């Protein structure tokens, strides 16, 4: 199957909305703690925006929260694997009720990203679904 046809098969159309990508990621919280130990603030600034760093510092479960953000951004990379994104192109925050919301820098085509994040002491997991209006 040629690549163009394969891409059309991946796409799911719902009325004027299409699901254009889906990604999931899991990470050991220990890896985040180790990277922070080794690279400190440089590591944080490579993966999180200034606003995300400020928010993260308010979390009691700091390492788990960062691991959740890391997994979420990796899930977005998978969901948008044909775009060249960096960690800082993606910004995640929480609504008042805790629900994560995601914005993309230079969001071409008005993509909307549905994120879900979970973390426990040792692992963080996230999924990302990307939808886009088609008209
Ligand atoms: C929303 C809820 C399910 C989150 O559960 P939780 O076990 O605290 O969540 P996890 O530890 O798995 O994951 C935490 C992540 O969930 C996400 N989250 C928090 N509240 C959320 C919400 N209202 N909607 C969607 N995602 C939410 C956040 O991304 C959070 O991580 P972050 O703060 O680092 O961004 C829970 O707080 C809740 O409100 N449950 C209502 C149902 C209930 O009370 N059931 C009781 C059964 S005994």
For ligand 1, pick from 71, 117, 121, 125 the residue to mutate: most ligand atoms within 8 Å of CB: 117
Q: Is ligand 1 within 6 A of the CB of residue 117?
A: yes
Alpha helices in the chain (DSSP H): 3-10, 29-39, 41-47, 50-56, 62-79
Above 50 in pLDDT, residue 1?
no
Q: What pLDDT does residue 15 have?
A: 78
Q: Is ligand 1 within 6 A of the CB of residue 118?
A: yes
Say how far apart CA 90 and CA 127 lie, in whole Å. 14
Residue ID of nearest Cα to ligand 1 atom 22: 99
Ligand 1 atom at minimum distance from 116 CA: 26
Task: State mean pLDDT over 101-120.
Answer: 94
**Cα(first)–Cα(last) distance of the chain, in Å?**
27
Contact 73, 117 (CB under 8 A): no
Say how far apart CA 17 and CA 20 lie, in whole Å. 9
Q: What pLDDT does residue 135 have?
A: 75
- Per CATH, domain 3-133 is 3.30.365.10: no
Q: Is ligand 1 within 6 A of the CB of residue 93?
A: no
For 40-58, how does the pLDDT look when each residue is reduced to its tens digit (9 = 90+)?
A: 999 999 999 999 999 999 9
Active site residues: 78, 119
Q: What are phi and psi of 123, to 5 degrees?
A: -135, 150
Above 50 in pLDDT, residue 86?
yes
pTM of the model: 0.89
62-79 helix and 29-39 helix, angle to the nearest 10 degrees: 100
The two three-digit tokens of residue 101, written as one number = 């919301």
Angle at 91 between CA 86 and CA 97, to 5 degrees: 150
Q: What pLDDT does residue 12 have?
A: 79
């Amino acid at each position: 199957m040629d690549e163009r046809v394969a891409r059309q098969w991946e796409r799911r159309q719902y009325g004027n909305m299409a699901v254009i990508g889906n990604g999931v990621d899991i990470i050991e919280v220990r890896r985040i703690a180790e990277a922070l130990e080794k690279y400190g603030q440089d590591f944080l600034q490579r993966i999180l925006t200034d606003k995300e760093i400020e928010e993260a510092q308010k979390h009691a479960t700091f390492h788990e929260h960062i691991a959740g953000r890391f997994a979420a951004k990796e899930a977005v990379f998978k969901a948008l694997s044909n775009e060249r994104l960096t960690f800082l192109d993606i910004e995640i925050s929480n609504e008042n009720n805790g629900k994560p919301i995601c914005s993309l820098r230079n969001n071409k085509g008005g993509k909307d990203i549905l994120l879900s994040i979970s973390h426990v002491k040792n692992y963080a997991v996230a999924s990302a679904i990307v939808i886009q209006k088609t008209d």
